[in-house]
Structure 1
Amino acid sequence: VCKPDGLYSLDLAHWVETGALGSVETLFEPAYRVSIAGMARTQDRLFISLMDNVRGKVVVCERKDGNWSLKPVALPENGNVGISHAEQFGSSVSFSFTDFLTPSSIIWSDDNGETLATVKSQPARFDASPLISEQFEARSKDGTMIPYFVVRRRDQKGPVPTLLYGYGGFEVPLLPGYAGVRGRLWLEKGNAYVQACIRGGGEFGPAWHQAALKGNRQNGFDDFAAVAQDVVKRGIATASSLGIQG
């Protein structure tokens, strides 16, 4: 049985000739907080762009000896990844990538994702070398786990001034993204930035959005408060050093 948000394959020629679907093979089954963001193919392989717990990933699919095999493309983690182009009658493919510390860039491969090289990038606006981007989760009032990102100095020893940002509306997902002004004026000074993926947004599809609509709007506020409490619990900030924006 095919499930929503899954990816399946069948023999198109057999379907056209006989009118029967025949056997249907599963390439990718729906998984908790994992969704398909896009697909593209080269001559021999299929590339699937995934959103895995608000982090972009790409897997490459290849059919050998009548079976599908999947393996991840070795792209950077904790970022926003997309498939920029795929040569349908060749083997070249390129990917877009950005995260909190990396300007938007194009990563190119001439051999179906086996060898990767960054060929183009926007200029860096701040020194990211002493900084680290991490992902954590906070437990909201009703038990729902709320993912959030933290960008701070790698050698942070104690609480620092921290800006917590959230949105939670209109099915808009808050994804990792580069911001030069924030880096130059906030992070370079040793401060921390937190981005909360609260309900009401689009990080995990329509249900995540609908969970904070109308009479359920309090869920979004509870999620935001839970992230704030978790940031303090981890020693990233104190209540008095934490600022909020949304």
Structure 2
Amino acid sequence: IVISLCSFLAGGRRFETLFQPGERRSLQSFFWNDGKLIISYLINLVPRFEMFTPGHQEWTRRVLDTLPAEGTVHVWSFDAAVHEANGEVLVCAQDPITPPQLLLFDLNAAPSLSASAILKRSPENFDASGLVVTRHEAVSIDHELIPYTQVGPANGNGDAPTHLSAYGGFGVSLLPYYNSPLGQLWVERGGT
């Protein structure tokens, strides 16, 4: 929740809600950059990002939809000192078939974010050609929908051997990431 300092000091208590968590929506992180608040959150384990700019009466919301939106994505300010931030952010993105990469984005680019510059990328340690990452939901015994990610051949028929690992209890999510040994020893050989 937010309120202008002047309004608060004058006795005002009309707070504005910028982010509301929900059953399938959880806040991951937030930080300030160039006078703007950037938040990172998950919806069904899918990363989403928004930028809020304070105004005289209300905040302006901008969905950062050109940032990577699959796998595990972390965003932070390029400059450690808030007063030096100029809108540039670093993004570390990976998914089960894409190795980690470090990207640079400019949040002040208009109308959309500037094309990212790849600063560094880890090597590909297994052949991911022909593989796809899909999202599904399992139904627990108490009828709770549990989101999960599956990696396997694009033309899979469901007969492949399956390696399953997960943890999502007590607000801790296991997000999909690039796992070289699993890719080399399992997925590359036809497993899912």
- TM > 0.5 between the two? yes
Q: Which residue of 2 aligns with 1:107?
A: 103
Question: Does the residue aligned with 2:37 lie in a helix, a strand or coil?
Answer: strand
Shift of the 146–164 alpha-carbon distance from structure 1 to 2, 3 Å rule, reads same
> How do residues 45-56 of structure 1 correspond to structure 2 at under 5 angstroms?
45-56=36-47
Q: Which TM-score applies when normalising by structure 2?
A: 0.83
Q: Which TM-score applies when normalising by structure 1?
A: 0.66
User: Residue 31 in 1 paired to residue 22 in 2?
Assistant: yes
User: Residue 41 in 1 paired to residue 41 in 2?
Assistant: no
Q: Which residue of 2 aligns with 1:96?
A: 92
Query: Higher Cα Rg: structure 1 or 2?
Result: 1
Question: Does the residue aligned with 2:184 lie in a helix, a strand or coil?
Answer: helix
Cα separation, 2, equivalents of 1:125 and 1:21: 57
One-letter code aligned to 2:42? M
User: What is the RMSD computed on CA atoms of the aligned residues?
Assistant: 2.3
Percent identity reads 31
Cα separation, 2, equivalents of 1:111 and 1:95: 12
Shift of the 27–80 alpha-carbon distance from structure 1 to 2, 3 Å rule, reads same
Cα separation, 2, equivalents of 1:14 and 1:86: 32
Whether the 8 Å CA contact 1:42–1:112 is kept in 2: the answer is no
Whether the 8 Å CA contact 1:78–1:135 is kept in 2: the answer is no
Deviation at 1:180, TM superposition (A): 0.6
Deviation at 1:21, TM superposition (A): 4.4
Deviation at 1:39, TM superposition (A): 0.7
Q: Which residue of 1 aligns with 2:140?
A: 140
Question: Does the residue aligned with 1:159 lie in a helix, a strand or coil?
Answer: coil
Cα separation, 1, equivalents of 2:41 and 2:169: 22
1:61-81 per-position Cα deviation (integer Å, ceiling 9, x unaligned): 234563322313322333111
Question: Does the residue aligned with 1:149 lie in a helix, a strand or coil?
Answer: strand
Shift of the 36–172 alpha-carbon distance from structure 1 to 2, 3 Å rule, reads closer
Question: Does the residue aligned with 2:181 lie in a helix, a strand or coil?
Answer: helix
Whether the 8 Å CA contact 2:73–2:94 is kept in 1: the answer is yes
Shift of the 72–168 alpha-carbon distance from structure 1 to 2, 3 Å rule, reads closer
One-letter code aligned to 1:9? V
Q: Which residue of 2 aligns with 1:123?
A: 123
Whether the 8 Å CA contact 2:152–2:190 is kept in 1: the answer is yes
Cα separation, 2, equivalents of 1:77 and 1:171: 20
Larger % of helix: which?
A: 1
Cα separation, 2, equivalents of 1:164 and 1:158: 14
Q: Which residue of 1 aligns with 2:166?
A: 166
- Segments of structure 2 that go 5 or more residues without pairing to the other structure are none
Question: Does the residue aligned with 2:66 lie in a helix, a strand or coil?
Answer: coil
User: Residue 72 in 1 paired to residue 64 in 2?
Assistant: yes
Cα separation, 1, equivalents of 2:190 and 2:68: 24
Shift of the 41–169 alpha-carbon distance from structure 1 to 2, 3 Å rule, reads closer
One-letter code aligned to 1:23? R
Shift of the 138–170 alpha-carbon distance from structure 1 to 2, 3 Å rule, reads closer
